[in-house]
Amino acid sequence: MKIEVKSFMSVITTGRVNQKTLTVPEGTTVCQIMETVGFSPDDEILILVNKGITNENRVLCDGDNLTFMPPVSAA
Amino acid sequence: MDKHDIFARNIAFWGNDTQEFLAEKSIYIAGVGALGCIVAEILVRAGIGRLFLVDNGVIDPPDLNRQALYGKHDIGRFKSEVAAERLASMTGHTDLIVRRLTIGECDISQDIKPCDGVADCLDNFAAMFALEDALPETRFMVHGALHGDYGQLTTIVPGKTVSLRKLYRGIAEKNRPVPVVATGVFCIGSLMAQEILKNLRGEPELINEFQVVGLSGFVFDRVPLNP
């Protein structure tokens, strides 16, 4: 199945949005995608699937849009 | 000084009716640090009627790289008081109310109640959640936050949009200084002020949507959210 992944985490480090389409097996979780794109388990990340807030245990479906955002708080 | 002279360029842009409309509005600025300084200054220059300036912090040397209302001679003074002095000297047409308090440790609901909206310019999740808890259902809050020259902002309306508590549930506070530079502050602060003006006019741009800005790569993007 295909998952659209868009990460704004990289905007902080590289200045660019990291956007790609991944082909993954049925039953793939958000956590597995996070490992694939290079996040560590300690990274704090806001996770959205199809606009909804979710967590790393979410099982993905074909065509899902997965977005990663940094939880920034400074002012 | 006559307000029609001071606000002549505003009136040329949005008309006298809007100028008079803004003079009747009040905004609660929660946190008068980096973002709070920019939001407050823009709203004063826009001709807003009243601002609450809420901060219990004092000015430290590391604030001077980005907190636009303060200079080296203000070190050790309370931010809310210095901000009020600087803002008072700009147009003379905004009532400035200073509140030296820490949000989360005091009841702020009576101050927020008569305000038309809130600017969340706070720097920690606990205080943001306390501010959100005090927000009446009929009011809006524009939330902004930064890291380096990256920033994001959205409008929060109780019962209508996703809440900050839901967004940031389980995220730990960062107990070390976060890198922040003036370019990000001025950009996100300006966008927050614009979104406040749009909310006041009933035309918010960022309901259930994050505006994301990354200045090093000139990234300007939107992230839709489900409530």
ipTM: 0.91
> Is the pLDDT assigned to residue B174 strictly greater than 90?
no
| Centroid of chain to Cα B194 | 10
Name the residue type at position B10. N
A67: chain B residues, CB-CB within 8 Å: 223
Q: Domain B3-224 carries which CATH code? A: 3.40.50.720
Residue of A44, A69, A72 with shortest CB distance to B146: A72
Per-residue DSSP letters for A4-49?
EEEESHHHHHHSS-EEEEEE--TT-BHHHHHHHTT--TT---EEEE
Q: Walk me through the domains of chain A, giving residue ranges and CATH numbers.
A: 2-69 (3.10.20.30)
State the average pLDDT over residues B176-180: 88
CB atoms within 10 A of CB B154: 28
Q: In this prediction, what percent of chain A has a pLDDT beyond 90? A: 81
pLDDT for residue B1: 82
pTM for the whole structure: 0.96
- Is the confidence at residue B175, as pLDDT, over 80? no
Per-domain residue ranges for chain B?
3-224
Interchain proximity B171–A15, CB inside 8 Å: no
Return the closest-CA partner of residue A38 out of A4, A5, A72, A73: A5
> Cβ separation of A74 and B144 shorter than 8 Å?
no
Q: Chain A residues with CB-CB distance to B under 8 A?
A: 8, 11-12, 14-17, 44, 46, 48, 50-53, 67, 69-75
